[in-house]
Amino acid sequence: MQDIRSMSGTTFEADAENVMREITSVLDPSKHKGQAGKIAVIGGCREYTGAPYFAAISALKIGADLSHVFCTKDAAPVIKSYSPELIVHPILEESYNISGLEDEERRCISSKILAEVDKWMERFDCLVVGPGLGRDPYLLECVSEIMKHARQSNVPIVIDGDGLFLVTNSIALVSGYPLAVLTPNVNEYKRLVQKVLNCEVNDRDAPELLQSLAKQIGGVTILQKGKSDLISDGEIAKSVSIYGSPRRCGGQGDILSGSVAVFLSWARAKGKATTSQMNPTVLGCIAGSALLRKAASLAFKDKKRSTLTTDIIECLGRSLEDICPAC
């Protein structure tokens, strides 16, 4: 805590709309399919099929060209039925499907899964790991290897949901990787702080604590979700306080992870063409947070108490268009 107090701790409200204008990909007729972003979601199991769909379809609604979902075989038909727009890969396995197999057979299956993902890896601009992933031990082992390969290929990784459960128990998966983004909610953040900093969360030192956590993990970017979203890469801290919606329907975190993935990939593509000197991961978090809040506000004006995640997703394009007109 002494290290935390010694940091400046200055947090500035991000100029979110300007960030969105700077990094949003221009609609250019000379571009070909894929140049506006290729996103892959690693998640989706027998119990959870909505979360990976929300993340993947949000990426498309914002403007990514292609959106993939790598999920378990049981989840694939359900996710495919939600939308023909998604490219669904039914390759992940859970323990109950391989029970009774010898260790060598299990390793062989893992190798095949990894080889299948590797065929696509270098095509992706960003991975989203965690929506609807579940906590099956064998599945998490496979996803750990996928994350290691993503690092080797220098592919950004946005981690949410059960991906945060995996990372909290295996910090080395993201430690020292500056293209990793963690998007914890209040409880996930508490567990991260306790594991990494060995202290409790307190609101008084919120920016300093977040900055210290990001630095301690090795320069990852953390988007701490809350009344105001706090964002830090260990060097700076920014907040996004645009009012969203009082409706807290499940699935909004999945929209956020898909949104951050797209904006992060656009910010990286822009490189030094932006006037901001901020890390592309921070820019992606600022833009993703702001867009979700604006879309949630727009959806709530129409639907009020009955607002659902699908309503918010339908407002993503219009919310971005208000700030960054296509024409």
CATH number of the domain bearing residue 63: 3.40.1190.20
| Cβ contact 267:23 at 8 Å | yes
Q: Measure CA 25 to chain center.
A: 18
Average pLDDT over residues 93-106: 91
Angle in degrees, CA 157, 159, 163, rounded to 5: 125
Residue 215 pLDDT greater than 90, yes or no: yes
- 180-215: burial string, b at 16+ Cβ within 10 Å, e else: bbbbbeeebbeebbeebbeeebeeebbbbbbbbbbb
Mean pLDDT of the chain: 94
How many other β-carbons are positioned within 10 Å of the β-carbon of residue 292?
30
Asked if residue 314 belongs to a domain, the reply is no
Residue 1 pLDDT greater than 50, yes or no: no
Asked if residue 274 belongs to a domain, the reply is yes
Nearest Cα to 70, choosing from 97, 85, 91, 54? 91
In the block, tokens 């914890």 appear at: 184
Structural domain including 243 reads: 4-23+32-292
Q: Which residue stretches of 63-204 are H helix?
A: 76-82, 103-121, 137-152, 162-169, 186-196
Q: At a CB cut-off of 8 Å and minimum separation 6, what does 203 contact?
A: none
Asked if residue 313 belongs to a domain, the reply is no
Asked if residue 212 belongs to a domain, the reply is yes
Asked if residue 11 belongs to a domain, the reply is yes
Angle in degrees, CA 241, 244, 245, rounded to 5: 140
Asked if residue 160 belongs to a domain, the reply is yes
Q: Is 156 helix (H, G, I), strand (E, B) or coil?
A: coil
Asked if residue 318 belongs to a domain, the reply is no
Residue 118 amino acid letter: D
Based on the structure, what is the number of domains in the chain?
A: 1
Q: What pLDDT is recorded for position 9? A: 44
Model-wide pTM > 0.85? yes
In the block, tokens 């202290």 appear at: 199
Percentage above 90 pLDDT, the chain: 88
Residue 169 pLDDT greater than 90, yes or no: yes
Asked if residue 275 belongs to a domain, the reply is yes
Residue 276 pLDDT greater than 90, yes or no: no
